[in-house]
A = this chain, B = another copy of it.
Amino acid sequence: MQTRNGKRTGLAAVRIAVEMQKERLISQKIALLKIPAESIDSLLVPVFDPKALKSATLIGFGLPAGPGAAAGRIAFTAANAVTETRKGNKVVLCRSETSPDDLKGMLHSQGILTSRGGVSSHAALVARQLGKVCICGAGDININYEKRTLTAGKVVLHEGDYISINGSTGKIYKGAIETADSEVKRVLEGGLKPASSFTYELFKTVMKWADKHRSLKIRTNADTPLMARQAVSFGAEGIGLCRTEHMFFDGDRIDYMRQMILAVDEVQRRTALKKLLPFQRKDFVGLFKEMNGRPVTIRLLDPPLHEFLPHDDVVRRQLAEKLGVPFDFVIDRIKSLHEENPMLGCRGCRLGILYPEITEMQTRAIFEAAAQVLKNKRGIRVNPEIMIPLVGFREELSDQLGIVHRIAREVMKAKRVRVNYTVGTMVEVPRAAITADEIAMEADFFSFGTNDLTQTTLGLSRDDMGLFYDEYQRKEIFSQNPFASLDQSGVGKLMKLAVDKGRTAKPELKLGICGEHAGDPSSIDYCHRAGLNYVSCSPPRVPVARLAAAQAKLRNS
């Protein structure tokens, strides 16, 4: 049953399917299969604030190529888009056409506007893959790179001026229009009554059907209680990936983190880690409370340490002063941490093996947080799953496992509390998949980190494929972007190998996926067929994943 139809808008597709079922023209199953999973997204994307929109100046039209509303400063080059967003500004990337070189700039932008190209142009394809608001082929506007101007009739905008675009309608506005949440989101967050939103009723109906028919669990990737709450309101049944490093950037924490990295010995490192412990513990308390007994998969520190150090000499000098060390010392340490291929360097469990005190601190934070939540007697339950990243050798996992179990016992004894927990690993390098039978002996669960697994399996860095991506699409070497939709005949086969080897060695092994593919309908279909237990996607993708999981079950049974 081929159900895709580019000409219907997302809302219309949902509406038609639901109404046909209500009139008993089609069954619930057929209705579910008739709705393109992606179309749920258009019920959830931000819209322009209706009040603000009244006084807005419409300056032109283009093809609606990525749903939602976006406002930001005009950037005419990808590089400027990156620079502006690094300064904390929102930008809309405006180009006559985009090319693979613009990928990084597109990632940083709120939305993308092009004056040339159709709905299958580079800009449109990539925007949809990235979930970006996009208008393409807006012949009404003229972009002049030399003069740095965007002209629409008599209106002349310059780089840095505000512009607003509605990727659901194709309308382009001068100035910054405030965006507002969708009706569905407002109902879910309590700002709007369910009965007063027709869109919400449609959403609720489809989600209820989907949940009845799917067998895959849907989790979310969330690092903060706020993200977790949003995901739960969208239907997430657990956290499949909490990236602990995101917790190290806020406020003072980054200073302690840097102090830890620049420590000359274990004593200094432990001193800095001790200062980070209360922050991590507090973060975990917040997450555990929010998730109340739902599984929370916490990934231990993953990125290479140099990612936490400042790039700017001024900030480096400040850091040296703050830590009371010579500037040259800071520079030397930064140099010594430099990596030729950061993706394949000292990161993941390699960090915890080199510096066991990092794993100790993070484990302590998790169990102290769990104890605190369990002991406050409000009946909140806690279900932590500790995930060791970048494992390729069974011995790596058992090394880290030893630390986790030791600290867990220590804390549980000291706090006189019993925490149910599991420990597992990410499968994100091919060696982990090839030796999955051995690794499964040590692991309670595997979570496929398909972003990194795609990079290592294809020998292809997502950051660097801009130069040839377009040519690969044109020559049909890539049938789709392998980072947006799972490369089923390559990476997928390796996953299946890991599933089979892992389950043969340990039948009760829990299996999930936490790469970006977990929000992509065709990848979800593959995960269902491969026998995974859950997919874990970003919070806004949870509804799409629920529907896609139901469709996968219906399609394959």
Contacts and interface: CB of A to CB of B under 8 A. Distances in A.
Interface in A340-354: 340-346, 350, 353-354
Given A456-B459, A463-B340, A468 B354 contact: yes
Interface string A431-446: 1001100100000000
A399 interface: yes
A475 B431 CA distance: 19
Interface stretch (A116-124, A142-150, A388-396, A516-524): A388-396
Interface string A459-471: 1110111011001
A336 interface: yes
Contacts of A475: 353, 395, 399
A491 interface: yes
A193 interface: no
Interface of A: 101, 336-337, 339-346, 350, 353-354, 390, 392-393, 395-396, 399, 428-431, 434-435, 438, 452, 455-461, 463-465, 467-468, 471-472, 475-478, 487, 489-491, 493-494
A193 B463 CA distance: 59
Contacts of A460: 344, 392, 429
Contacts of A438: 489
A438 B487 CA distance: 15
Number of this chain's copies in the assembly equals 2
15 contacts: A101-B336, A344-B461, A345-B464, A354-B467, A393-B477, A395-B475, A395-B476, A399-B477, A429-B457, A430-B430, A431-B459, A434-B493, A435-B489, A456-B456, A456-B457
Contacts of A336: 101
Given A344-B455, A459-B456, A430 B494 contact: yes
A-B pairs, 10 with minimum CB distance: A429-B459, A345-B464, A344-B461, A341-B461, A430-B430, A340-B463, A431-B490, A395-B477, A339-B464, A346-B467
A43 to B, nearest CB: 36
A431 B491 contact: yes
Contact of A341 (B343, B477, B487, B490): B343
A464 B340 contact: yes
